[in-house]
């Protein structure tokens, strides 16, 4: 399965059940089944059914009780194949490991002594496991209640006799705990431990991380231990990574996410700020921030007065040393190199802090934009969907394309957010020429995707609102106007999806063999090997300002960031999944003419010659 298919898997659970044929998508049943097979969301009833089936499978093959089968399965992480291998390899070792012992003969006599309280009790008041070590029900009740309170380890509980390894049957646990109301409330907790063990001890399952959600997710494909898999819980719509349980973050690795979250929550950046913007008091060594222009500093803690530049006592300063705004001593010492080490340390700390803040601010901006998009999408569905249906005389099922657009915006904001964490850790050495070229190409792809997303976001939010407001008084939107809006939004949604597919695929492949990959295309070697560099250079040109895109604004603001979306629509429509060319082509053609360039699907360069049939960089044919 390709990387593009895997990216699309992350949001397949979010799709609605309405037919797609009315608005241009044509998802086949085979393709949908292929996407869904990556993982499955299980309800509590599904988990109980799966657990029962697993126990029955082992019971039928090994000929043991349900209790024993459950214990053996827990021992081997609910892997039935491994249970069979271990059992038939060394049955005695498996039995000993889980506490399976042969049934001992029943003791004779009408009464027996409890081996905990050492009192005589009638046989009817005594209980025992298969070992037949008898204990009174009161002692059993205390023993079991304490074990349940200690947590899931109660599932592997053994006979109270210290040297006995016999397992305590589930039926005995239920019977004894239900004898008194005070302990009867522990039975559901015990049963819940047994249910949760099926998920928590199973390598192929995890619990949904949504608040108060009792669903689980089962991974249905083989994958590397550290390979991220984005899943969506169909019960609570929570998206998370199957591997690390953090927010869904493909194409960024789980290790990168862990480091980024730790960095954002740690004190390391506070220390960097202190290092870059303060100096220690020469007397008490408390950090002091210079918040005024004068070099005369007074420590607020010890009241020591000193010079900010040279750290010398202020009583030794005056007009002869340069006054309040300069320091001749510092300048002289600087020429001899006395302050080089300190200055270098402060500059490095400041640069490190500025670099981190550059990426963090943009990560945080997209995170907030995603949260707002989610609220706006929910508000549209709750407050405006029915109104729009009335104004367009269209069933709400045929307005699904608007909800699809919002879902695409939300998902793409998430992807863009994590690309900044990717960029922060991928290219730490800005002096390396090869690394700098890869970083430029990455930022070009990132900025291009952001421009396309901004246009989709604008159409889903502002253009729709303008259309509603324009005809609010009449109460009816003309069919032709609404169809034009519909075609634009469908086309932009699909083009945005395709563009982010490519971005995700590129980030997952990496940039190390970028030149080799381009050189392998059916263009001249020189042109192919320089495609990435040309794309990166294009980021600094008029067609696509990489710097403006990376800053989320600057030189043109939001409008400038969205101008390239038309070219993306032209390039993406031909390869878009499930969009009727007859329906989208007139729209994208108008967009291309309006923006003044078309985009190459292969190397993503914006071509200014609208009459050209081939890309000026990679030489491949222009998309139809």
Strand pairing of 135-136 and 205-207?
Answer: unpaired
- 122 contact partners, CB below 8 Å, separation of at least 6: 110, 111
Q: Is the pLDDT assigned to residue 426 strictly greater than 70?
A: yes
HSE (side-chain half, CA atoms, 13 Å) at 415:
31
CA distance 461 to 439: 32
DSSP state, residue 614? B
Buried-exposed string 187-202: b where 16+ CB fall within 10 A, e elsewhere: beebeebbebbbbbbb
Per-residue model confidence (pLDDT) at position 120: 85
Helix (H) or strand (E) holding 345: helix 340-379
Per-residue model confidence (pLDDT) at position 419: 92
CA distance 469 to 624: 36
CA distance 337 to 34: 66
Helix (H) or strand (E) holding 297: strand 296-298
Residue 159: name the closest of 187, 129, 137 by CA: 129
Q: What is the pLDDT of residues 45-63, one digit of tens each?
A: 999 999 999 999 999 999 9
CA distance 471 to 328: 73
Token pair for 83? 């249970």
Q: What are the backbone angles phi and psi of residue 307, rounded to the nearest 5°?
A: -90, 130
CA distance 404 to 14: 9
Residue 178: name the closest of 203, 148, 150 by CA: 148
CA of 536: how far to CAs of 432, 441, 443, 451, in Å? 15, 4, 8, 16
Q: Is the pLDDT assigned to residue 535 strictly greater than 60?
A: no
pLDDT band for 421, please (50, 70, 90 cuts). Answer: very high
Per-residue model confidence (pLDDT) at position 3: 39
**So where are the chain's domains?**
103-185, 281-338, 357-607
DSSP letters for 565-588: HHHHHHHHHTT-TT--HHHHHHHH
Per-residue model confidence (pLDDT) at position 38: 84
Residue 221: name the closest of 245, 203, 234, 209 by CA: 203
Enumerate the active-site residues.
Answer: 294
Per-residue model confidence (pLDDT) at position 326: 47
Q: What is the pLDDT of residues 29-46, one digit of tens each?
A: 444 444 457 889 999 999
CA distance 605 to 570: 12
Strand pairing of 239-241 and 230-232?
Answer: antiparallel
CA of 388: how far to CAs of 408, 456, 459, 487, 531, in Å? 20, 19, 15, 16, 46
Token pair for 44? 């509590």
Q: What is the pLDDT of residues 93-130, one digit of tens each?
A: 999 999 998 888 887 777 788 888 888 888 888 889 99
Tell me if 245 sits within 8 A of 231, measured CB to CB: no
End-to-end CA distance of the chain: 27
DSSP state, residue 129? -
Helix (H) or strand (E) holding 598: strand 598-599
- 548 contact partners, CB below 8 Å, separation of at least 6: 447, 554, 555, 556, 560, 561
Per-residue model confidence (pLDDT) at position 447: 87
In total, the chain counts a number of residues equal to 624
**In terms of CATH, what superfamily is 103-185?**
Zinc/RING finger domain, C3HC4 (zinc finger) (3.30.40.10)
Q: What is the pLDDT of residues 113-122, one digit of tens each?
A: 888 888 888 8
Q: What percent of the chain has pLDDT over 70?
A: 69
DSSP state, residue 460? I
The pLDDT mean for the chain works out to: 75
Per-residue model confidence (pLDDT) at position 413: 92
CA distance 511 to 523: 20
Give the angle 204-205-210 at the CA atoms, nearest 5°: 150
CA distance 470 to 243: 48
pLDDT band for 172, please (50, 70, 90 cuts). Answer: very high
| Total-model pTM | 0.62
Q: Is the pLDDT assigned to residue 20 strictly greater than 70?
A: no
Q: Is the pLDDT assigned to residue 136 strictly greater than 50?
A: yes
> What 3-state DSSP class applies to 391?
helix
Q: What percent of the chain has pLDDT over 90?
A: 22
Token pair for 264? 């954002």
Residue 141: name the closest of 184, 171, 188 by CA: 184
Q: What is the pLDDT of residues 493-518, one digit of tens each?
A: 999 998 898 888 888 888 777 666 65
pLDDT band for 596, please (50, 70, 90 cuts). Answer: low
Query: Is the torsion defined by CA of 601, 604, 609, 614 positive or negative?
Result: negative
Q: What is the pLDDT of residues 289-319, one digit of tens each?
A: 766 657 777 887 787 887 766 667 777 766 5
Q: Is the pLDDT assigned to residue 167 strictly greater than 50?
A: yes
Per-residue model confidence (pLDDT) at position 323: 46
pLDDT band for 570, please (50, 70, 90 cuts). Answer: very low
Per-residue model confidence (pLDDT) at position 334: 52
Tell me if 575 sits within 8 A of 494, measured CB to CB: no
CA of 220: how far to CAs of 231, 280, 417, 516, in Å? 12, 57, 28, 34
Q: What value does the mean pLDDT take over residues 580-597?
A: 47
């Amino acid at each position: 399965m390709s990387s593009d298919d895997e990216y699309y898997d992350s949001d397949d659970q979010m799709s609605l059940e309405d037919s797609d044929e009315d608005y241009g998508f044509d998802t086949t049943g085979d393709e949908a089944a292929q996407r869904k097979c990556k993982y499955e969301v299980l309800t509590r009833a599904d988990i109980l059914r799966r657990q029962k089936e697993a126990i029955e499978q082992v019971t039928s093959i090994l000929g043991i009780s349900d209790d024993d089968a459950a214990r053996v399965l827990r021992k081997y992480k609910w892997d039935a194949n491994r249970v069979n291998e271990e059992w038939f390899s060394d049955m005695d070792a498996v039995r000993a490991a889980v506490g399976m012992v042969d049934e001992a003969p029943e003791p004779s006599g009408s009464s027996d002594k409890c081996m905990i309280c050492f009192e005589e009790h009638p046989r009817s008041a005594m209980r025992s496991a298969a070992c037949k070590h008898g204990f009174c029900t009161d002692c059993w009740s205390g023993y079991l209640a304490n074990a349940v309170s200690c947590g899931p380890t109660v599932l592997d509980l053994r006979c109270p006799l210290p040297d006995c390894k016999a397992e305590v049957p589930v039926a005995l646990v239920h019977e004894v705990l239900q004898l008194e109301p005070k302990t009867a409330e522990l039975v559901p907790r015990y049963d819940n431990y047994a249910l949760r063990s099926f998920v928590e001890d199973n390598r192929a399952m995890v619990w949904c991380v949504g608040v108060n959600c009792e669903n689980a997710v089962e991974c249905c494909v083989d994958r590397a231990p550290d390979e991220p898999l984005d899943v969506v819980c169909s019960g609570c719509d929570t998206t998370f990574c199957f591997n690390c349980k953090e927010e869904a973050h493909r194409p960024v690795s789980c290790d990168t996410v862990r480091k980024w979250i730790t960095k954002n929550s740690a004190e390391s950046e506070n220390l960097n700020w202190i290092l870059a913007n303060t100096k220690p008091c020469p007397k008490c060594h408390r950090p002091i921030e210079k918040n005024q222009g004068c070099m005369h500093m007074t420590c607020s803690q010890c009241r020591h007065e000193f010079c900010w530049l040279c750290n010398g006592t202020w009583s030794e300063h005056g007009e002869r040393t340069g006054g309040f705004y300069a320091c001749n001593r510092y300048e002289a010492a600087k020429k001899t190199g006395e302050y080089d080490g300190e200055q270098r340390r402060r500059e490095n700390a400041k640069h490190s802090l500025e670099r981190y803040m550059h990426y963090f601010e943009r990560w945080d901006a997209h995170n907030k934009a995603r949260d707002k998009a989610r609220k706006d999408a929910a508000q549209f569905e709750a407050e405006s969907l029915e109104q729009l249906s009335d104004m367009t005389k269209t069933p709400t099922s045929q307005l699904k394309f608007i909800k699809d657009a919002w879902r695409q915006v939300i998902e793409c904001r998430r992807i863009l957010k994590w690309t900044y964490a990717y960029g922060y850790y991928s290219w730490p050495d800005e002096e390396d020429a090869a690394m700098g070229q890869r970083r430029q190409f990455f930022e070009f792809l990132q900025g291009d995707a952001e421009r396309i997303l901004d246009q989709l976001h604008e159409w889903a939010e502002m253009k729709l609102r303008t259309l509603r407001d324009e005809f609010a008084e009449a109460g009816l939107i003309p069919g032709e106007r609404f169809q034009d809006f519909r075609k634009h939004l469908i086309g932009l949604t699909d083009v945005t999806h395709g563009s982010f597919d490519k971005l995700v695929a590129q980030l997952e492949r990496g940039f190390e063999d970028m030149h080799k990959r381009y050189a392998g295309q059916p263009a001249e070697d020189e042109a192919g090997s320089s495609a990435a560099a040309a794309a990166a250079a294009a980021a600094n040109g008029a067609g696509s300002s990489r710097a403006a895109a990376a800053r989320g604004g600057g030189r043109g603001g939001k409008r400038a960031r969205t101008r390239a979306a038309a070219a993306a629509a032209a390039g993406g429509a031909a390869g878009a999944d499930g969009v009727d060319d007859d329906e989208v082509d007139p729209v994208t053609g108008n967009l291309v003419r309006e923006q003044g360039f078309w985009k190459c699907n292969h190397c993503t360069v914006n071509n200014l010659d609208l009459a050209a049939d081939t890309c000026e960089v990679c030489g491949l044919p222009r998309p139809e």
